[in-house]
Structure 1
Amino acid sequence: MNRSELVRAVAERAGSEEAAARRHVDAVVETVMERVSAGERVIITGFGTFDRASRPARKARNPHTGVPIEVPAAEVPRFRVGQTFRNRVGQSVSVPEEQPAPDPVVALVAEESASKKSKDGKAVKDSKAVKTVKGIKGGKKAKKGLEKPKGEKGAVKATKRPGKAKASAKPAKVGKASKAVKAGK
């Protein structure tokens, strides 16, 4: 909402003309700026507090050149939100953040490991289940479920984008971890 939209909303809510509402909104804003500039604190109960803060002189660096510079002391305006305003904003309906799509390799590993349990409830290692999936940095491990059925050549190759998989002509390599398991170490 910009200043003109605020004036229209105030005029509607107060049941007055836009010209009158504009004068009132301008008067409030000007009064707050004048009083805070003069060093006074303006408190609007439930809405917030406008005041002035002092920033001491400090040393900083120019981000482009890296040269150290002196930043002079300054007086800056500050606004602190009132409790009623904070509560009203906190009660508003928030839109949940979009979760990134889960990595299919990690999901398969978790699913496979959860399903491999012995009679006493402990996890069971399956030496044939761990294979290195080509195309993923660091040689992440994936479970048997990513391999193609026996009649087709190659294994499924993971891509950098989650949810996408390609078939490769080469079979998947066996990683160091699975070699150690096969060797009984």
Structure 2
Amino acid sequence: MNRTDLKNKVAESAGVSAAEADRAIDAVLGAITDALVAGDKVSLPGFGIFETRERAARTGRNPQTGESLDIAASTSAAFKPGAELKRKLAKS
């Protein structure tokens, strides 16, 4: 499913126009992004938790040359599915 498919599904389910659904999707994604940038978790009961995770600096290896290289520490977004989502996925 791509963004257009999602927009159309939301518009159909909510009984709104595609433009309104697109604005709603933008608002939700913007709110989640803002919370993660601020270091907060976003918990959607039954669906899951969006959070940030810190990755420590480490030494990696270039697979083509075998040369060692330093990989800087970073922060990444992570998603942990909720119990209801896990249950629904297990049935499919």
Instruction: State the TM-score bracket (shorter-chain normalisation).
Output: over 0.9
| Matched residue, 2:46 | 46
Q: Distance in 1 between matches of 2:20 and 2:5?
A: 14
| Matched residue, 1:105 | none
Q: Distance in 2 between matches of 1:30 and 1:70?
A: 33
Q: Distance in 2 between matches of 1:17 and 1:27?
A: 15
What is the TM-score when the length of structure 2 is the normalising length?
Answer: 0.97
Q: Which has the higher contact order (CA 8 A, sep 6+)?
A: 2
Between the two proteins, what is the percent identity of the paired residues?
37
- Listed as ranges, the gaps of 5+ residues in structure 2 are none
1:141-163 CA distance string (max 9 Å, x none): xxxxxxxxxxxxxxxxxxxxxxx
| Matched residue, 2:60 | 60
Deviation at 1:15, TM superposition (A): 0.8
| Matched residue, 1:87 | 87
- Listed as ranges, the gaps of 5+ residues in structure 1 are 93-185
Deviation at 1:88, TM superposition (A): 0.8
Amino acid paired to 2:50: F
Match of 2:19, SS state, is: helix
Instruction: Indicate the structure with greater helix content.
Output: 2
Deviation at 1:37, TM superposition (A): 1.2
Q: Distance in 1 between matches of 2:10 and 2:54?
A: 33
Deviation at 1:64, TM superposition (A): 1.0
Moved over 4 A (4+): none
| Matched residue, 2:8 | 8
RMSD over equivalenced CA pairs, Å: 0.6
Matches within 5 A, 1:25-36: 25-36=25-36
Deviation at 1:34, TM superposition (A): 1.1
1:117-153 CA distance string (max 9 Å, x none): xxxxxxxxxxxxxxxxxxxxxxxxxxxxxxxxxxxxx
Instruction: Indicate the structure with greater strand content.
Output: 2
| Matched residue, 2:77 | 77
Q: Distance in 1 between matches of 2:26 and 2:91?
A: 29
| Matched residue, 1:179 | none
| Matched residue, 1:167 | none
Could you say which structure has the larger radius of gyration? Answer: 1
Deviation at 1:46, TM superposition (A): 0.6
Q: Distance in 1 between matches of 2:29 and 2:64?
A: 36
Query: Aligned pair count?
Result: 92
Deviation at 1:91, TM superposition (A): 1.1
